[in-house]
Amino acid sequence: MWGGSAEQALLSAGCAQMHRIYDLPGGAASGISDSKLPDMQAGWEQGITNTLASLSGLNLCYESVGMHASLLGFCMESMVLGDDILGQVMRLVRGIDVTEDTTSIEVMKEICLGGAGHYLGSNQTLQLMQTEYVYPVVGNRMSPKEWVEAGKPMLIDSEK
């Protein structure tokens, strides 16, 4: 079986579910890539396998970043990229916080019925952006215009 395959992701998810059924700690491999370099294939394989394993409740994930060529290779750049991938995955695991603070009817009334009609200037929005958004270390969230003006930087060339 290939490390970055959907089948490996399903196997890791199955392991996680069995650990939960029997209330046992346990881990599985996840985040391995069959790619030889930190390229698009590595990104989707690491993202998919880590996400599925994590959302299935895996409480120990080994080989989660940096591993390439089905564990025959290792790449330091992929460790850095993996940090952003795992940050996103952990945000998915945390889910959506539905509380009075995050779904305030009063704020909705104020903005939708008498305010600007959008939440961008709301103090609540600004506060929630600090806890609900993941700000990647190397991932690029520039607008297309900003990206072109910055010389079209490629992620793999990042110096961070």
Whole-angstrom Cα distance, residue 44 to residue 158? 19
| Spans of all domains in the chain | 1-95, 96-160
Burial of 98 (0-12, 13-18, 19+ CB in 10 A): exposed
Name the residue among 89, 19, 88, 101 with its Cα closest to residue 55. Answer: 89
> So what's the pLDDT on residue 117?
86
Whole-angstrom Cα distance, residue 157 to residue 83? 16
Residue-wise pLDDT for 32-72, tens only, equals 999 999 899 999 999 999 999 999 999 888 888 899 998 89
> Rounded to the nearest 10 degrees, how much is the dihedral formed by the CA atoms of 4, 69, 86, 76?
-170
> So what's the pLDDT on residue 90?
94
> So what's the pLDDT on residue 82?
92
> So what's the pLDDT on residue 159?
59
Q: Which residues of the chain have pLDDT under 70?
A: 1, 159-160
